[in-house]
Amino acid sequence: EEEEKEEEEEEEDKLEDRKRPNDEPNTFIDDIFGGETASIVTCLRCNRESMRREKFLHLSLEIPPMFLPKPPSFSHQQGGGGGGKRKGKRKGRGGQQQEAQRIAEEKRREKEREREEEERKKYTLIDHRTLDDDDEKTSKATLLGCFRHFSSPELLCGADAFFCEACISNDFGLTPASKQIIFHSLPEVLCVSVKRFTAFQKLTLNVDFEEYLDLSSFVLNEREKENAYYRLFGIVVHQGSMGGGHYVAFTKKLTNSLSSERGVWYYSSDEQLQGGSLKKVMGSQAYVLFYERVERGEGEEEKGEKGEADETKGVKKEEKEEKKEEKK
């Protein structure tokens, strides 16, 4: 048994080695895209809390399961074959066996999910976020919803139970724990992709996103909350299917760009470059999104400006002057 443990520890050491050590100097890539997540585990027996920080350059977010379609073969069986979409070809014996295995696997997972759900009800998980109750009530898949899913606390129990040092030394053994991943710090430029490719299919559902993104509820420390406001400046869209496709992009001139094209959107597909618009961007099925950090409340100012061009309420002097330049 001890040998096994040692082997496991060695494996972990190897994993650690592959990560960039924390004391290595940052490159400009880290300075621009680098943020840090905090993984917080709370022992539900003694409330001891442990935190592990991890750097990221990019986030890949799952779409919350409730918005996902059932795997095709499973829903087909459930539907009783009423639909007209049966495959023309009859499957061979091997195919049928595979199909049966897949269904059995799906059912097993479904049961496991239900069991976990039941188990979860016994415990109160620890949530470090500062969300409003209303935030949870969404009927559509949204980018913010993906962030909520990413950062929602989960229960570690059963085979995943927690090795709590305090409880182990009191001979309690492994304990149930609450685990949550939230942000310790956020990057200057946030690069986030939506997981659209599963083992079965490409998920083509719309995941709504906003031009402005406020992640302050997902940030652990108060001071960092001020740095959690973002504005969209680019998206990548995947056209096509699981088997193959084509990437196109919408990009915007950045805030600090001095040219008169500041804020103009472009659409690019290979060598083709043409004008885009925020409306077209918003109507797209984004796969990767790029957000730049902005001052808190910037979105509100711009909304106010739309009605009256000379309305200067809250607009910074610098910006006003730049805008006059643009008009000329």
Residues of this chain that interact with Zn ion (CB under 5 A) are 43, 45-46, 48, 164, 166-167
Strand partners, 37: 54, 183
Instruction: Reduce the secondary structure of 59-117 to three states and give it as a string.
Output: EEECCCHHHCCCCHHHHHHHCCCCCCCCCCCCCCHHHHHHHHHHHHHHHHHHHHHHHHH
Closer to Zn ion by Cβ: residue 45 or 120? 45
170 alpha carbon, distance to own chain's centre: 38
Burial class (CB in 10 A: 0-12, 13-18, 19+), 177: buried
- Supply the minimum distance, in Å, between the C-beta of residue 266 and Zn ion: 54
Q: Are 192 and 207 in contact (CB under 8 A)?
A: no
Closer to Zn ion by Cβ: residue 34 or 176? 176
Closer to Zn ion by Cβ: residue 48 or 149? 48
- Supply the minimum distance, in Å, between the C-beta of residue 96 and Zn ion: 49
- Supply the minimum distance, in Å, between the C-beta of residue 170 and Zn ion: 8
CB atoms within 10 A of CB 147: 20
Alpha helices in the chain (DSSP H): 2-18, 28-33, 72-78, 93-121, 143-150, 165-169, 222-225, 278-282, 298-307, 317-327
Burial class (CB in 10 A: 0-12, 13-18, 19+), 77: middle
Closer to Zn ion by Cβ: residue 48 or 323? 48
- Supply the minimum distance, in Å, between the C-beta of residue 180 and Zn ion: 16
Tokens 């097993």 locate to 108
- Supply the minimum distance, in Å, between the C-beta of residue 166 and Zn ion: 5
Closer to Zn ion by Cβ: residue 41 or 59? 41
- Supply the minimum distance, in Å, between the C-beta of residue 268 and Zn ion: 53
Closer to Zn ion by Cβ: residue 163 or 197? 163
- Supply the minimum distance, in Å, between the C-beta of residue 165 and Zn ion: 8
Instruction: Give dist(CA 43, CA 47) in Å, integer.
Output: 5
Closer to Zn ion by Cβ: residue 49 or 295? 49
Closer to Zn ion by Cβ: residue 46 or 315? 46
User: Is 123 strand, coil or helix?
Assistant: coil
Instruction: Give dist(CA 110, CA 117) in Å, integer.
Output: 11
Q: Which amino acid is at 160?
A: D
- Supply the minimum distance, in Å, between the C-beta of residue 168 and Zn ion: 8
Distance, first Cα to last Cα, the chain? 77
